[in-house]
Structure formats: C-alpha cells, structure tokens
C-alpha cells in the first residue's frame, strides 16, 4: 500500500476537498502540510455541505487528521471552525485532530498588516490579490525567526519574550503604514485566553506520523492552493507564501521524502484562478460565463469570483514535472456539458516563438498567447456518471486527449460535487 499526496496542479480551486474526502475512506491518517485558512475545501456528503479551511478533510470521516508544521495556524479561526463543524454533527476530539506543536501562529497583527500593505500598493500591477487573512506576514515571521509557535502557548514567559521580538520588527513597519503599535499586554491576554482551547490537540506531529508509518498505516497528505501558486514555481509574485508542490508534503508534515509515495494531481477540466496574475487561457465571453455559472466558480472562503478559461495542458504538463505527479484526478467534467466546441491550450506564442512551457519571466507570462487545439463537445450529460462506460464518446476523447498532452493518466474522474459521483480508474493507494 502506498501513501498518497494530493496537490493542486493548476492555480488552486481544483476540487481537492472532495477528492481528499473520497480518498480518506481508504486512508488511516490525513495530513494538511502547508497553507493556512485561506484555502477553502467544500465537501458534499449525502447532500450535506461541509466547508473547511484549516481542518483537514479527514475530520468529516472521523479519521485522525493532522495539521502539520508547514501550516500557519490562526487559533481563533481554528476554534471557530471546530465549533461550526461540531454544530453539523461532526465530533472533533484530540483523538481525531492533532495540531503540530511546532506550527507557527497567525496573530491578529498579521491580517491588519496584510490588508494595509495591499491597500498601499497603488501602482498598476502592484497588488498581489491576497485574501487579507495574514498568511503572508505569518510566513514572513516564520522565516524571520520571530514567529510564535503553537508550543509557545503553554508558556507565559516564552510568549512575553516572543512578543517583544515581534514588536521590534513590526512596530516600525506598522508606523510606516499608519497603524498603531502592537499592544503587548492585549496580545498576551488574547493568546492566554485561546491557549486552553488549542493545547488539548497539540502533539509532536512527526511522532504521530512516524508511528503510523511503522505500523503500516496509509497516510493521505492534503495540499492547499495549487502548483502555480507555489512561492518558488508559481507565477511569482502572484503566488501564495508557501511551497504548494508535492515536495512540501515531507517537510511540512515531518516525514521523510520516501514516505510520501504516490502523487495525485488534481486538475479541473478547464482552468480557473482567483486574484491577480497572468492567465493566458482566460475567457471574457459567453463560454467564460458558462464555466463560471455552471461551475459555481466563487471562492469558498472569500466569496471572490474566479476567473475562468479553457484547459491549459501546457500548465498541467509542467505541474506534472515539478510535482512528480503519478496520476491525476480530473474534476468538473460535467461543467463542459452542452458546449459545442472545446479548446485545449497546447503551447504559448511569445513574440515569434511557440513555447511548450510557462517561462518564469513576468513579462513573458503576460505576453503569452495560447495556441489552441479544438475538440468536438457533447450535448449529453456527464453529471453524476459513476462508470467510464457511462460517458459519451466525445467526453472520453476529451479525457484521453488531456492524458496524452500532460503525460499522466487519469486515476480518478469526478462528475459532480457529491462524494460518490467519482469514477475510479486506478486506486492511488494500490500503487
């Protein structure tokens, strides 16, 4: 049996939540390894909708679920999310939820800084499109070695020392943005109030995972965002503040790289992205509106409309390479129902040259014009299909052509938001 890492292969919002929920039936432990509560996952189980942001999707199944050290944790949001999911009948206990003791915290000072900096970026193209939830500033404090970590909640003395260190960096920065200096007593009081609600879940997550590995348990690693929001490999600077690719599954959870196993890339049958940044295949026409409307392309957490466009095989093929993807889960195929003609991007025309990859240069990315291949669409519904044989011939051709262009097979095919509307073509856990 293989462990499985699930990663977004585009710009996020590919439908990872449903796929992780579906795979968690076969897993023993589920782990979030990066990101924060800026990543919304929607699960639909027996018609009931669960919206998660920070909690791993495995909690809905009652599986041991780990928030790894690579995640930045807003403890107030976490408590609120636990309360919300419990109000829907899902019990959250320390046996179900484990929070890594060495994960870093998002503090109230971080969203305020996030919003103020974005507002101050007035030049054209200067704004990143951040969610304003403090993810970036929290990661900056982490790499700046001044972050408050989950384990610090157990020590008043440690908190006082770390708050002073934060003030030395943040107060001059806040003054430049017109914000009040940090109130150390108020921040300490807030942390001490939330600590008893968080500490019962806290453990050395790496030990939990090492024990699971030694006992032959199957681990499912759950990523957030997508490969092209990766701080190294994405459309920089229009990216998130963490590594989102499969390589982060090991570092962000505390397991050796050999323990990651099969890499499953989640790919939407078309392309979307939220916020600013280049998007060669974006559609501002009737088809784009069809994708947005039928696909219900609105951010789970932010409510922001997603930009929509044709499937970009160049982008996904590059994602297959940088993630080491073994197979993909193709989602939202049913959204394409009723379109007479479909297009897939097979290259980018930049100047007089056609490239088969996305270059790193911001100008080149902005100048890239898609080279499309056209395929015949279908009128028949693919919604809720649960067997590959249930798909019409043109839908099958579309799926097979995507496999050819990206160089990876389809392991799972999702035909609706419902958990059971999933076609299994290859079980990642059996790799």
Which ranges constitute the DSSP H helices of 260-384?
286-294, 313-323, 362-367
Lay out the sheet containing 327-331: strands in order across. 202-203, 97-100, 65-67, 29-32, 219-222, 4-8, 262-268, 327-331, 410-414, 422-424
Cα distances (Å, whole numbers) of residue 251 to 179, 257, 259: 35, 8, 11
Backbone conformation region of residue 280, classed left if phi is above 0, alpha if psi is from -120 to 50, else beta? alpha
What residues are labeled active site? 13, 41
Report the 10 Å Cβ neighbour count for 201. Answer: 21
SS3 label, residue 400 = helix
Q: What residues pair up with 355 in beta bridges, in sequence order?
A: 348
Contact 53, 301 (CB under 8 A): yes
CA distance 300 to 13: 9
Contact 81, 65 (CB under 8 A): no
CA distance 7 to 275: 20
SS3 label, residue 353 = strand
Token pair 């490969």: residue:
227
Which tokens in the block code for residue 80?
Answer: 């609120």
Which tokens in the block code for residue 225?
Answer: 């965002």
Instruction: List the one residue out of 303, 220, 294 whose CA is nearest residue 51.
Output: 303
* CB-count burial class (<10 Å; 0-12, 13-18, 19+) for 10: buried
Residue 41 exposure: Cα atoms within 13 Å on the Cβ side: 33
SS3 label, residue 232 = coil
Residue 116 has phi, psi (to 5 degrees) of -65, -40
SS3 label, residue 43 = strand
CA distance 100 to 206: 8
């Amino acid at each position: 049996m293989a462990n499985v890492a699930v990663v977004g292969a585009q710009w996020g919002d590919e439908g990872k939540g449903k796929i992780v929920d579906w795979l968690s039936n076969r897993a023993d432990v589920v782990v979030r390894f990066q990101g924060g509560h800026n990543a919304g996952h929607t699960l639909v189980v027996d018609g009931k909708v669960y919206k998660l942001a920070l909690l791993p999707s495995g909690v809905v199944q009652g599986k041991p679920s780990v928030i790894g050290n690579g995640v930045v944790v807003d403890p107030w949001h976490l408590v609120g999310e636990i309360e919300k999911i419990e109000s829907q009948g899902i019990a959250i206990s320390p046996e179900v939820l484990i929070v890594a003791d060495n994960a870093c915290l998002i503090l109230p000072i971080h969203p305020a800084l996030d919003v103020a900096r974005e507002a101050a970026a007035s030049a054209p193209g200067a704004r990143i499109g951040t969610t304003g939830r403090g993810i970036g500033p929290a990661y900056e404090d982490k790499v700046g070695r001044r972050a408050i970590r989950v384990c610090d909640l157990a020590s008043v003395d440690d908190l006082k020392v770390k708050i002073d260190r934060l003030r030395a960096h943040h107060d001059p920065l806040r003054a430049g943005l017109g914000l009040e200096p940090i109130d150390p007593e108020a921040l300490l009081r807030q942390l001490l109030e939330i600590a008893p609600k968080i500490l019962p879940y806290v453990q050395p997550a790496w030990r939990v995972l090492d024990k699971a590995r030694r006992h032959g348990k199957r681990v499912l690693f759950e990523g957030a965002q997508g490969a092209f929001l990766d701080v190294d490999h994405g459309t920089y600077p229009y990216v998130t503040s963490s590594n989102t690719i499969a390589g982060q599954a090991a570092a962000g959870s505390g397991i050796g790289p050999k323990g990651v196993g099969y890499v499953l890339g989640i790919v939407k049958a078309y392309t979307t992205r939220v916020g600013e940044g280049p998007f060669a295949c974006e559609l501002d026409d009737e088809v784009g509106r069809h994708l947005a409307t039928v696909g219900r392309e609105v951010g789970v957490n932010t409510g922001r409309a997603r930009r929509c466009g044709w499937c970009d095989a160049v982008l996904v093929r590059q994602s297959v390479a940088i993630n080491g993807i073994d197979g993909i889960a193709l989602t939202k195929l049913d959204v394409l129902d009723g379109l007479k003609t479909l297009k897939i991007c097979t290259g980018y025309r930049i100047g007089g040259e056609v490239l088969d990859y996305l270059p790193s240069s911001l100008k080149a990315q902005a100048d890239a014009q898609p080279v499309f291949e056209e395929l015949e669409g279908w009128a028949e519904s693919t919604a809720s299909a649960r067997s590959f044989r249930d798909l019409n011939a043109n839908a099958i051709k579309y799926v097979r052509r995507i496999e050819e262009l990206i160089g990876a097979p389809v392991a799972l095919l999702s035909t609706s938001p419902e958990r059971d509307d999933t076609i299994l073509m290859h079980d990642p856990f059996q790799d």
